[in-house]
Amino acid sequence: MALIVHKYGGTSMGSTDRIRNVAKRVAKWARAGHQMVVVPSAMSGETNRLLGLAKELAPSGSSAALNRELDMIASTGEQVSVGLLAIALQAEGVEAVSYTGWQVPLNTDSSYTKARIESIEDSRVRADLAAGKVVVIAGFQGVDDEMNITTLGRGGSDTSAVAIAAAMKADECLIYTDVDGVYTTDPRIVPDARRLHTISFEEMLEMASLGSKILQIRSVEFAGKYRVPLRVLSSFTPWDIDINEEAKSGTLISFEEDEKMEQAVVSGIAFNRDEAKVTLLGVPDKPGIAFQILGPVAEANIDIDVIIQNVSQEGKTDFSFTVHRNDFARTMELLENVVGPATQAAKVQGDPKICKVSIVGIGMRSHVGVASKMFRALSEEGINIQMISTSEIKTSVVIDEKYMELAVRALHKAFDLDKNPA
Ligand code: ADP
Ligand code: ASP
Ligand code: MG
């Protein structure tokens, strides 16, 4: 008997028929003798619908007070899902009970809309499991010290599931979704993308942090920190397939450094259209300038991604960086009102129509010429590179958003990702 956490995404929970299917699959695992904790997302489209209602009443602006209410609203999507799934399980003859985040409780900080999990109190859940029940816990949500409901950022149910698996020392966390694993890139953009049987934890972490939406980055961080055995697999296989076959399907996130992986130099391509570029032209080139520009942005809790500063001419330089598109307006405001005057920057320019495309692979550590191959493939398509950033196992470029799909396809081909590795 093992303790297993299953997570089902929005599409997998998208209708009562699909929820019934999820219940049948979970019932199969429970009947095989496993203790089951199930973490569903809201039904597909529901979180957007709920946040859309809020937007009708508050079309612009962002404040902690508004964000608190957004979490109050958005969390109801998952609350409906857990109730429905528990009912569907009971209808299958399985004892099941549902909990919201605050009922568990799953404690977070108070950063509404992007809260971080601090601790999980598992005694209630353990008591239910010991009594033979399947426990269904709402993904994406928690509660802060003041009993305010919080949410964990879009795609946050992945993180709920992995964090619960980590806290409860589960034997495995299975992330069921609408694709049958992690692919070399999003199969919606490149139809001949290939499923990976395993992906190293480091590569998965990069892919997620660079925008691949298959797993929320924080879920991968949790998996790494607590060594949670993690697998991504399809919820669309017939629910009654052999459980051993199912347990080996999909993509395993591997922690084994020396395990023979599908060792291509580049394992995958990630892209992110959620970024925007901000440039300050004619900034005085003197010590402390980067801090003067970025300090207030960081203080406003805005994440900064790619940064470049050019070689200065006559004591002036240009400084560009990217932020999440949701933070673009606020960043421009900050720069114009605070940073601009303080740094005597000549001009602030913004471009929200950019995207970031990245190649990822642990093989890049031991190979040279990978980045130049990337730049050649992009130049052959006439795509101009605006910014470049690299780390040991990735190279990212910022380009015009309109070339994103073209760039991803060209790179997928240039690195032979459609072919099985030798
Ligand atoms: P869920 O609702 O189950 O959480 P998501 O929509 O969040 O599902 O994530 C699954 C989607 O991620 C897939 O439908 C696919 O389009 C997209 N995706 C992006 N990058 C990849 C990748 N490298 N491999 C597989 N799917 C990917
Ligand atoms: N329902 C939330 C979202 O749409 C969380 C999730 O699906 O993981 O972002
Ligand atoms: Mg998701």
Q: Per-domain residue ranges for the chain?
A: 3-256, 268-414
11, 12, 150, 154: residue to mutate for ligand 2 pocket, most atoms within 8 A of CB = 154
Residue 313 forms beta bridges with which residues?
A: 316
Residue 126's H or E segment, with its range, is helix 123-130
The answer to whether the beta carbons of residues 353 and 400 sit under 8 Å apart is yes
pTM exceeds 0.85 for this model: yes
Asked if pLDDT for residue 74 goes beyond 60, the answer is yes
How far is the C-alpha of 79 from the C-alpha of 88, rounded, in Å?
14
Residue 177 Cα to ligand 3 midpoint, Å, equals 8
Tokens 């999990």 belong to residue: 117
Q: Please give all residues whose beta carbon lies within 6 A of any atom in ligand 1, as ranges.
A: 9-12, 41, 155, 177-179, 182-183, 185-188, 212-214, 268
Residue 62: the pLDDT is 74
The answer to whether the beta carbons of residues 269 and 55 sit under 8 Å apart is no
At 199, list the tokens: 């992906």
**Could you give the 3-state DSSP secondary structure of residue 158?**
helix
Phi, psi of 49 (to 5 degrees): -60, -45
CATH architecture label of 268-414: 2-Layer Sandwich (3.30)
How far is the C-alpha of 414 from the C-alpha of 7, rounded, in Å?
35
Residue 254: the pLDDT is 93
- 349-391 per-position pLDDT tens digit: 999 999 999 999 998 988 889 999 999 999 999 999 999 999 9
How far is the C-alpha of 302 from the C-alpha of 324, rounded, in Å?
8
Phi, psi of 209 (to 5 degrees): -70, -25
Sign of CA dihedral 52, 118, 163, 359: positive
18, 21, 177: residue to mutate for ligand 1 pocket, most atoms within 8 A of CB = 177
Atom of ligand 2 nearest to the CA of 77: 1
How far is the C-alpha of 116 from the C-alpha of 108, rounded, in Å?
5
Residue 180 Cα to ligand 3 midpoint, Å, equals 13
Residue 215 Cα to ligand 1 midpoint, Å, equals 7
- The mean per-residue pLDDT over the stretch 408-421 comes to 92
- 117-132 per-position pLDDT tens digit: 999 999 999 999 999 9
Residue 195 forms beta bridges with which residues?
A: 183
The answer to whether the beta carbons of residues 219 and 231 sit under 8 Å apart is no
Q: What is the CATH number of domain 3-256?
A: 3.40.1160.10
Find the radius of gyration of the CA atoms of the chain.
23
- 203-259 per-position pLDDT tens digit: 999 999 999 999 999 999 999 999 999 999 999 999 999 999 999 999 999 998 655
Quote the mean pLDDT of the chain: 93
